[in-house]
């Protein structure tokens, strides 16, 4: 069974301020809960419809249609500056997200980072929260394998450049990505859905890239969705 107090506590995790206060987030569905249980994350509790009943599950679910299982999971401790510095010393390939606001896009990008072995995802403070329920669902379990580090992107970009690594960025006026040499170490900056990379962050980019349409003079969509652009870009870096 599940108590009224427990129901109220899980319901409160719909809101970021309660997730931050409790340091808890919700995962739903057999696959995600299974991944949570096999990860290094601390799973505080698991609720199954067969144990608590459909009515109770419908009250605590954050999906439009309740799944058979839901878990409350402890958030990991945020990356420290020392951990960021240690990561950069290893000469990684990382993504940086400048003001990405859509939870589905963030979740998909984390999933893409997991698929292509991107070492970490850095995010500006105004990027949507990783533990938003929609973001968590969109990661399809990658939330347990790839870290998202909220930080000052300009400062992080400066550390990459100081370490002798390039900082790439995607722009509509950039160089054709298919013709550019792409290193296996560095930082790849992706901009917001509506405005792209902001002016302040753009000044930290050393290599401006553009994913051209096909054919190149096509009068079609003006840009790609940020998650799709991230997938194309990561695939080319891993080619």
Q: Does 62 share its domain with 85? A: no
Q: Does 192 share its domain with 217? A: yes
Q: How many CB atoms lie within 10 A of CB 80?
A: 10
pLDDT of 194: 85
Q: How many CB atoms lie within 10 A of CB 88?
A: 20
Q: Does 11 share its domain with 100? A: no
Percent of the chain predicted with pLDDT > 70: 99
Q: Does 85 share its domain with 163? A: yes
134, 107 contact by CB (below 8 A)? yes
- What are the structure tokens assigned to 22, written together? 């409790």
148, 108 contact by CB (below 8 A)? no
Count helices and strands (H / E) in the chain: 11, 9
- Chosen domain end from 49, 74, 99: 74
pLDDT of 182: 97
Q: Which domain holds residue 40?
A: 4-74
**Per the structure, how many domains does the chain have?**
2
71, 96 contact by CB (below 8 A)? no
Chain mean pLDDT for the chain: 95
Q: Does 95 share its domain with 207? A: yes
- Chosen domain end from 45, 74, 103: 74
pLDDT of 216: 76
Q: Is 193's pLDDT higher than 90?
A: no
- Chosen domain end from 20, 51, 74: 74
Tens digits of residue pLDDT in 194-212: 889 999 999 999 999 999 9
Tens digits of residue pLDDT in 52-93: 999 999 999 999 899 999 999 999 999 999 999 999 999 999
Continuous segment of H or E residues that includes residue 112: helix 103-115
Q: Does 54 share its domain with 122? A: no
Nearest C-alpha neighbor of 59 from the set 113, 89, 107, 14: 14
**Residue whose entry in the numeric block shows the structure tokens 């290893």:** 90
Q: What is the CATH number of the domain that holds 37?
A: 3.30.1330.30
């Amino acid at each position: 069974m599940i108590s009224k107090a427990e129901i109220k506590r899980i319901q409160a995790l719909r809101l970021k301020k309660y997730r931050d206060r409790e340091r808890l987030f919700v995962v739903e569905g057999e696959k995600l809960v299974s991944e949570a249980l096999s990860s290094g994350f601390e799973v505080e509790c698991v609720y199954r419809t067969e144990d608590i009943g459909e009515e109770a599950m419908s009250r605590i679910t954050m999906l439009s249609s309740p799944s058979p299982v839901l878990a409350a999971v402890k958030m990991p401790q945020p990356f420290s500056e020392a951990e960021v510095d240690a990561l950069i010393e290893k000469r990684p390939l990382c993504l940086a997200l400048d003001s990405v606001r859509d939870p589905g896009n963030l979740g998909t990008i984390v999933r893409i980072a997991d698929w292509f072995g991107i070492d970490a995802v850095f995010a500006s403070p105004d990027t949507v929260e990783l533990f938003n329920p929609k973001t968590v669902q969109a990661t399809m379990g990658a939330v347990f394998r790839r870290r998202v580090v909220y930080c000052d992107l300009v400062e992080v970009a400066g550390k990459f450049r100081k370490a002798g690594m390039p900082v790439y960025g995607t722009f509509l006026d950039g160089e054709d990505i298919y013709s550019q040499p792409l290193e296996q170490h560095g930082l790849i900056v992706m901009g917001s859905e509506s405005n792209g990379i902001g002016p302040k962050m753009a000044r930290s980019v050393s290599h401006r890239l553009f994913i051209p349409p096909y054919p190149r003079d096509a009068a079609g969509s003006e840009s790609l969705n940020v998650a799709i652009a991230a997938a194309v870009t990561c695939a080319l870096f891993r080619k």
